[in-house]
Amino acid sequence: MDNFDVLQHFDMISHSLRSPFYTVAEYIPGIGTLFKPYGPVDGVWRNFVLSFQNLFEFSGNNIFFDRFLQAGDPAYEDKYRYAKLVVNFCSCHHTESFLYLLHQINYFEDEAIKRIKIAIAWLMITVGLPLIWMGEEWCEDKIRGDKDRTRKINWSLLTKTSQRSLFELYRKLIAIRKSSSAIKSDNVNFLCHDSDTYIVAYHRWCNESNESIVALFNLSLKDQQAYCINNWPKNGRWQELISQSEIQIDNNEFSIDLKSYEFKIFAFKD
């Protein structure tokens, strides 16, 4: 809708309700004058679908890797410099499900699930507000254009081991995000983005709470052994938030093994 007066009117109504809404615009391409305080709405949609799809389909292609880093980090563009300005998603009302798209590039079962897991981890930890479309948390793959208008949720998928594991991961990531002031902040610093190994690590932090989070991602088809990061933000004890295991950082260095499309999320303890 290319009418800022109308958008401003909708925003005014939304914020006048007892439970105020967050107003988000589908505006392509996003422009800095769309958001408050210079524009009419609170934020804009940001679609990760094509970036992830190209990254997975053309693994090893540095052009798509570089484009993914730009699209995958809203803070890369100055107009998205505040976390609350962008709503990130991998599926929504006008795209096919992420699992369906992975099927189109010949990833099925466990190979599809592990790619969905690393994508949703990125979505939940990166700068911005995450959108989870209904059914994504246990891998529904209904086609958007089918004739079934009822759109009943297929709860039976939760009986499958792989879908249940994805659902539990969503629960953990949501809990991590809700409790983390660092993840909800505007602060992000990339510690590495290696175009040879496709290892990406970034630091999220909050000065007020002295909280630090480091997220690591292996975005390649290959396992990586003893990958060293020599600019870790803090020395001391860190906890991996999914497995609850702990590591000790000395001299701001950390060496890690990461399987293909594996991720880790570490929180500083003391």
φ and ψ at residue 241, rounded to 5 degrees:
-80, -20
pLDDT band at 79 (very low <50, low <70, confident <90, very high): low
Higher-confidence residue of 211 and 71: namely 211
Percent of the chain scoring above 90 in pLDDT:
50
pLDDT at 51: 86
Check whether 270 has a pLDDT greater than 80: yes
φ and ψ at residue 214, rounded to 5 degrees:
-120, 125
Q: Among 24-28, 49-53, 177-181, which stretch is predicted with the lowest mean pLDDT?
A: 24-28
pLDDT at 242: 97
The residue type of 238 is W
pLDDT band at 75 (very low <50, low <70, confident <90, very high): low
Tens-place pLDDT, residues 96-108: 788 888 888 999 9
CA distance 40 to 43: 9
Q: Which residue has the tokens 């000395």?
A: 250
- Average pLDDT, rounded, for the chain: 88
Domains and CATH numbers, the chain: 42-179 (3.20.20.80), 189-268 (2.60.40.1180)
Q: Among 82-86, 119-123, 232-236, which stretch is predicted with the lowest mean pLDDT?
A: 82-86
Q: What is the per-residue DSSP string for the chain?
A: ---HHHHHHHHHHHHHSSSPPPPEE--SS--GGGBTTTSSBSEEEEE-HHHHHHHHHTTT-HHHHHHHHHHH-GGGSGGG-SGGGEEEES--TTS--HHHHHHHTT--HHHHHHHHHHHHHHHHHSSSEEE--TTGGGT----TTSS--S----GGGGGSHHHHHHHHHHHHHHHHHHH-TTTTSS--EEEEE-TTT-EEEEEEEETTTTEEEEEEEE-SSS-EEEEEES--S--EEEEETTT--EEEEBTTBEEEEE-TT-EEEEEE--
pLDDT at 151: 66
Identify the top-confidence range among 52-66, 96-110, 116-130, 246-260. 246-260
Q: Among 15-29, 229-243, 245-259, which stretch is predicted with the lowest mean pLDDT?
A: 15-29
pLDDT at 158: 80
Tens-place pLDDT, residues 157-192: 788 888 899 999 999 999 999 999 999 998 999 999
Check whether 141 has a pLDDT greater than 80: no
